[in-house]
Amino acid sequence: MWKYLLKRIGISVVILVIVSIVIFVLIRMQPGNPFVGMVSADTDPDYIEKRMEELGYNAPLPEQYVKWLGRTLKLDLGYSLQYKLPVAELILGRMKNTLLLSGTAFVLSSFIAAAAGVYTAYKRKSIFDHVITLISFVMVSVPTFFSALLLIKILSFDLGLLPPSGIVTSGSSYVGLERIKDTLVHMVLPVGILTIVQSASMMRYIRASMSDIFTQDYMRMAKAKGMKAGRLIWVHGFRNAWTAVITLFAMQFPSLLSGAVLTETVFVWPGIGRLNYDAILSQDYPVIMGVTIFMAVIIVGMNLLADVLCAVANPRISVFRKEAGTV
Amino acid sequence: MKKDQNKPLEKSEHIALYKFIHNKTAVISAVILFLLAAVSVLAPVLASYGFDTTDLMNVRKAPGSLHILGTDSVGRDVFTRILYGGRVSILVGISAMLIQLFLGTLLGIAAGYYSGILDMIFSRIADAIMCFPFFVIAMSVVAVIGPGTFKLVFVIGFLMWPKLFRIVRTEVMELKENDYIAAAKAMGMSSGEIMIKHLLPNVMSPVLVSSTLSVAQGIILEASLSFLGLGVQPPLASWGNMLSDAQSMSVLANNWWMWVPPGIMVALTVLAINFVGEGLRDALDPKVRG
C-alpha cells in the first residue's frame, strides 16, 4: 500500500509541476508588468527598468520560473492591484466564505445524492425512480446560473421571501445570534442552488454504481436468505460502492468549486469566486493568477486524499499491489 | 439528422438504429434539435429585424404586437436575437466539440496503443487540465488573451478534451489485448494501420455518445462565460450574452422577456442533446437491453 501511495504522491507532484508551468506561461503572457500596482505612477521609467533588471525580470525563462516557483511555495503571490493587499492574505480571507457556501452544499448534496441514488437503484423502474431520474436529468441540463436567476426573480423579487444577494443585509450592524441568523437567510438561495445541482449529478453516478452492485449474486443471496432491506442496502451494498463514492466526491470537487465561482458571482457572495470575477473586471492579474494556483492546489490535494481513502477503503488495492510488486 | 448520427456505424449495427428509432424521448429530442437548427439557419428569413438593429423609441418594451418578445436595453428585437443567437451558441458548441473530438481521439488512441512514456505524458497533461476548475482557468485564460467567439471555442475545446481522451484511452487499452490485434501485427500491419483500421472503428460508439454530450456541455459553457461577459461579445448575439443582461438587478426584477427566453432556449437545446446522447448510448451499448 505504501508503494501505491508513494506512486500517487509522485504523480500529484508531476501534475502540480505541469499546472505551475501553465500558470507561469499565463502570467508571462499577461499585459503590463507585475510592478505596475506597487509603485506610484510618476516613478522614473528608467529606475523601474533598472529595478526590474535587478529583480531578474529579463532573466532567462527557466531561471524566472524557478524563482517564481520558490516565491509561490512561500505563499508569496504578489500584491493585489485593486486592494493593495498581499494576494495570499486576500484569498485566505475570502476562503472562509467560500467554504461556508460550498462546504454546506457539499455536505447536504452528499447526503441527498447518497439517499436518492441508493434508493432509486434499489427501486429501479419504480415511479419514484423515473421522477427523480428525470428531475436530475433536467437539473444537469439547465445552466446553474439560469436556475439561480429564476429563483432570485421568483423568490426574492416577486415573492419577497429571501434576500437576492450578499452575505449580510447591507448597512445592517447585527451582532451575535442576529448576525448568524441574517447570514443563514442569505445562504438559503445560493446553498440551495448548489445543493440541487450537485446532488443531481452525484446521484446519477451513485445510482449507476449501486445498480451494478444490486445485480450481483451475493446481493441476491443475502436477499434470498431474508436479510432486512436496511442492512442489505447499507452494509452489504453501499460498502462495496465506497471506493466509487469516494472517487466521485473527489471528482465532484472541481465542479463544486467551479459552480461556486458562478454561484458566488450571481449572488454577489464575497468568496473566492466573486473575488476572481471582480479581479477580472478590474484586470487585477496577481489576484486572478493567485486564485487559479490556489484552486488547482486544493484540487490536486483532494484527488490525492481520495486516492489515500480509496486505498484504505478498498483492501483489494493493497493486495493487488503486493502481488504486482513480487512479479 | 438521423442518417448523420448513424453514419459511422457498421452494418451489423442496424440493431442500434432500430433501438434508437424506438426510443421515443430520443427521437422527439432529435426532431426538436432539427427544428432548432433549421430555425437558426433560417434566421435572416424568419426575423423581421436585423440582429443589431436598434430601435431607440422602443427600449425595454414588453412583448407586444410590434416585437413578439419585446426589446432589450438598446431597443433590439429579442425574438430576432434569439434566432441569431441560436446560430452562434450551437455553432460554438459544435466547433468546440470538434476540437475535443480531434484531440481526445487522436491522443487517446496513441496513448492507449503505445502506452509507456507517451501515455505517461498525455495522461499527466490531461490530469493537470482536469484539476483546474473549468470556470477559474477559463476566466484566467480569457483575462490574458481577451474575450471573443473564436477564443471561446478554443478555450472550451482545449480545456474539455481530457474527458474524451480518458474514455478513448481506457477503451483502446482493453481493445489492444484482443487476438485480432495480435494477428494484425503478425500479418505485418503497421501501427498506424492498426490504429486507423482496427482501433478507431471500435471506439466509435463511446466517442459518438461522448461527443454528442460535449456539444451540450459546450453550449452551457458558452452561455456561462458569455453571461460573465467573457465569451461572445455584443453586438453579436448569443444566448449567453443575452442572458448577461440579467446581471442588472433592475432587468432581472422587471424585464423578464430579456433573459428568460434565451435561458429557456439553452435549457431546451441542452436537454434535447442530452436525451439524444443517452438514446445513442442505450442504442449502441450491447449490454443495455431495450
- Which residues sit opposite B71 in a β-bridge? B77
0.90 exceeded by pTM: no
The verdict on a CB contact (< 8 Å) between B139 and A141 is: no
Chain A nearest C-alpha distance from B120 (Å): 10
DSSP label at B236? S
Chain A residues in contact with B135 by the CB 8 A cut-off are 258, 261-262, 273
pLDDT, residue A327, reads 30
pLDDT tens sequence for chain B (290 residues): 444 555 554 555 677 788 888 888 889 999 999 999 888 888 888 777 777 777 777 777 778 777 777 777 777 888 888 899 899 999 999 999 999 999 999 999 999 998 889 999 999 899 888 888 888 888 888 888 888 899 999 999 999 999 999 999 988 988 888 888 888 888 888 888 888 888 888 888 889 989 999 999 999 999 999 998 888 888 888 999 899 888 888 888 888 888 899 999 999 999 999 999 988 888 887 654 43
At B88-115, the pLDDT tens digits run 999 999 999 999 999 999 999 999 998 8
Each residue of A202-257: pLDDT tens digit?
A: 888 888 888 888 888 888 888 888 888 777 877 777 777 777 777 777 777 777 88
Give CA–CA dist B130/A299, Å, rounded: 9
**Model confidence over B234-279: pLDDT tens digits?**
888 899 989 988 888 888 888 888 889 999 999 999 999 999 998 8
Question: Which residues of chain A from 121 to 150 reach within 8 Å of chain B, CB to CB?
Answer: 137-138, 140-146, 149-150
C-alpha torsion angle, residues B38, B43, B48, B49 (rounded to 10): 160
The complex's ipTM works out to 0.84
* Residue in chain A nearest B130 by alpha carbon: A254
d(CA B274, CA B288): 18
C-alpha distances (whole Å) from B42 to each of A22, B2, B37, B87 are 42, 20, 9, 10
A96-270: CATH class: mainly alpha
Between residues B100 and A323, the one the model is more confident about: B100
Pairwise CA distance, residues B56 & B73, whole Å: 9
Distance CA B25, CA B31 (A): 10
Instruction: Closest CB to B133: pick one of A26, A285, A299.
Output: A299
> Are B172 and B199 a contacting pair, CB within 8 Å?
yes
The closest of A152, A140, A163, A188 to B273, measured between CA atoms, is A140
Which A-chain residues 280-319 have CB contacts (< 8 A) with chain B? 280, 283, 285, 288-289, 291-292, 295-296, 299-300, 303
A257–B133 C-beta distance less than 8 A: yes
- What average pLDDT does chain A have? 80
- For domain B13-289, give the CATH number: 1.10.3720.10
Contact A140 B274 (CB under 8 A): yes
> Where would I find the H helices in A267-284?
272-281
- CA A79 from centroid of its chain's CA atoms: 24
Q: Which of B221, B65, B254, B255 is nearest to B142 (CA)?
A: B221
C-alpha cell at A104: 454546506
Q: Which residue of A has its CA nearest to B251?
A: A153
CA distances from A96 to A190, B158, B255 (A): 15, 32, 35
Number of H-type helices and E-type strands within chain B: 14, 0
Which 3 state secondary structure label does DSSP give B29?
helix
Check CB contact of A277 with chain B, cutoff 8 Å.
yes
Length of chain A counted residue by residue? 327
Task: Report whether B61 contacts B71 (CB < 8 A).
Answer: yes
